[in-house]
Structure 1
Amino acid sequence: MTENDRRWSIGEVAKASGVTIRTLYHYEEIGLVPASERTASGHRRYTEADLRRLYRVRALRGLGLSLEEIAGVLDRPGDDLTALRALLGAQLAELDLRAARIGQLKEQISGLLWMLDKEVMPDPEKFMAALELHSVYESFFGQELRDHLARRRAEIGEEGMAGIRAQWLDMLREARRHLLDGTPVDDPRVQTLATRWEAMAAGLQSGDRQVDERVTAAGMALWRSSGPELSAQLSRQIDWLDAGDLPALMDFFERARKAREGTG
């Protein structure tokens, strides 16, 4: 008997493939991997072609495809990979989104851990207020916008985001110094700083005007709703920033923009 003539029982297939007998029954019920033959007494017998199909199912399942998607791929001619390419492309996009969401979640958890580790006895009220702000943030930024922001952060990368944060802090510190010194908003130094500030904000945008406008609108609504709370939380993370500084600095940049445009 040649290898092509060999037949396997369901128990042998389960043992060799690592797929349970119950799963093999299910695959047959839905027509995914039926046993090609039966003995006179009705026992299933799997052919070499059946085993190859089963291993393809396992491989595609390992890539995250559903059984329905796998059936659609396997039912096409062997040289037609169009459907598989489309499915794998969609699966990769989904995995990218999951990775971006995980990155966003890691950033939030890292911030909360930083708050806990900063003091020997963290203030429970302040910590719970930080948690509440995360909930408020999600109420203004729906899942679609949060996914958009997560993807954009993933595109920029951790190193790029670290550079942007450092740049943001430097400009914030410089603006605070001008504000405390009473530097007029039309002063060339302030105007240069405001231009850099706007360029940094533009660099965070995706280029999709409609989505970017929605993100901006959500951010402004969040600031109007919870500006003092956001300022207080940020001031706890930045030693040189007082709780009331951030609103004053945002107003300073806005007045500088209006002075440049002649609308102030």
Structure 2
Amino acid sequence: MDEQERWSVGDLAKSAGLTVRTLHHYDEIGLVSPSERTPAGHRRYTPADVRTLYRVRALRSLGLGLDTIAETLAGPADLSDVLRTQLVHLDAELDRTKALRARVSALIGHQTTLDLLEAMHMIEQYYTPEQLEYLARRRDELGEDHIKAVEAEWPGVIERMTAHHKAGTDPADPDVQALATRWSELMAEFHGGDQSIIDSAQRMLTDTEAEGKQESNGYNKELFAYVQRAWDAK
């Protein structure tokens, strides 16, 4: 093998689209080290070293960490097992990303940027990661069009129930009963009957009310208590 079949660190970095610093790091951790050095101590990569480097790049493109790549290349590890483990990791990351997207999507258009950040922080205080993932899955199952239809109906239901509340209408009144039934149905669209979600939503409402942060759409503790009386009157 002649000299032309060796690569300096600079030439290899340029050819592979990497930085010299990256190749130095790979050498330091023993991932891809040059097999030869010149009498002056300069690194020289052989064709075998280059093949190893491109295997590393291929595995990195699949999202594998350097430690996992090193173990895969150094030992008898089954690449299929490594990739199956990576697929599980990627699925979990995808679920978290979808949950975050659903949370942001649900808030966009309803608050200013600062209000949006405050609302997201508040949500994280009252809902567990598992509950947020459940809500994201439920939103996906229902579909955006259905969710928008439910969200569009809520203000009217709240407005009509508020009018009855302020007028002192008996909770057993047929109109109030019909509204209470629809209220319950719309809430079920959100929580799907999950009691832990219901409890978290109620805690957030109670604390928000106590801090004087009443919802701008009129949905507050007194109104909810009125709806509760309507449910009890059934």
Name the TM-score, length of structure 2 as normaliser: 0.73
The residue number in structure 2 matching 1:167 is 153
TM-superposed deviation, 1:102 = 4.7
TM-superposed deviation, 1:103 = 4.7
For the Cα contact (< 8 Å) 1:185–1:256, is it kept in 2?
Answer: yes
The residue number in structure 2 matching 1:191 is 177
1:26 lines up with 2:25 in the alignment: yes
Q: Which moved more, 1:193-202 or 1:9-18?
A: 193-202
For the Cα contact (< 8 Å) 1:153–1:161, is it kept in 2?
Answer: no
The residue number in structure 2 matching 1:118 is none
Q: Distance in 1 between matches of 2:90 and 2:23?
A: 25
Q: Which runs of 4+ in 1 moved over 6 A?
A: none
For the Cα contact (< 8 Å) 1:27–1:33, is it kept in 2?
Answer: yes
For the Cα contact (< 8 Å) 2:135–2:190, is it kept in 1?
Answer: no
The residue number in structure 2 matching 1:137 is 122
SS, match of residue 191 in structure 2: coil
**136 and 227 in structure 1: CA distance in 2 versus 1, 3 angstrom threshold:** farther
**39 and 180 in structure 1: CA distance in 2 versus 1, 3 angstrom threshold:** closer
TM-superposed deviation, 1:147 = 4.3
Q: Distance in 2 between matches of 1:22 and 1:136?
A: 39
**55 and 95 in structure 1: CA distance in 2 versus 1, 3 angstrom threshold:** farther
TM-superposed deviation, 1:26 = 1.0
For the Cα contact (< 8 Å) 1:73–1:84, is it kept in 2?
Answer: no
The residue number in structure 2 matching 1:50 is 49
One-letter code of the match for 1:67? Answer: L
For the Cα contact (< 8 Å) 1:65–1:91, is it kept in 2?
Answer: no
Q: Distance in 1 between matches of 2:192 and 2:92?
A: 17
Equivalent residue for 1:38, pick from 28, 36, 39: 36
**221 and 109 in structure 1: CA distance in 2 versus 1, 3 angstrom threshold:** same
- Structure 1 gaps of 5+ residues are 115-126, 236-242
The residue number in structure 1 matching 2:133 is 148
Task: Map residues 79-94 of structure 1 onto 2, 5 A cutoff.
Answer: 80-94=79-93
1:224 lines up with 2:177 in the alignment: no
TM-superposed deviation, 1:142 = 5.8
* Identity %, equivalent residues: 34
Q: Distance in 2 between matches of 1:154 and 1:78?
A: 40
RMSD: 3.8
The residue number in structure 2 matching 1:256 is 230
The residue number in structure 1 matching 2:11 is 12
TM-superposed deviation, 1:162 = 1.9
**158 and 193 in structure 1: CA distance in 2 versus 1, 3 angstrom threshold:** same
The residue number in structure 1 matching 2:216 is 234
TM-superposed deviation, 1:94 = 1.5
Q: Distance in 2 between matches of 1:14 and 1:217?
A: 57
For the Cα contact (< 8 Å) 1:97–1:151, is it kept in 2?
Answer: no
How many positions carry a matched residue from both structures?
230
The residue number in structure 1 matching 2:60 is 61
1:61-117 deviation per Cα after TM superposition (whole angstroms, max 9, x unaligned):
345433223334444658631222221331242144135325534654643338xxx
Q: Distance in 1 between matches of 2:99 and 2:169?
A: 41
One-letter code of the match for 1:38? Answer: E
Name the TM-score, length of structure 1 as normaliser: 0.66
TM-superposed deviation, 1:32 = 1.8
For the Cα contact (< 8 Å) 1:97–1:147, is it kept in 2?
Answer: no
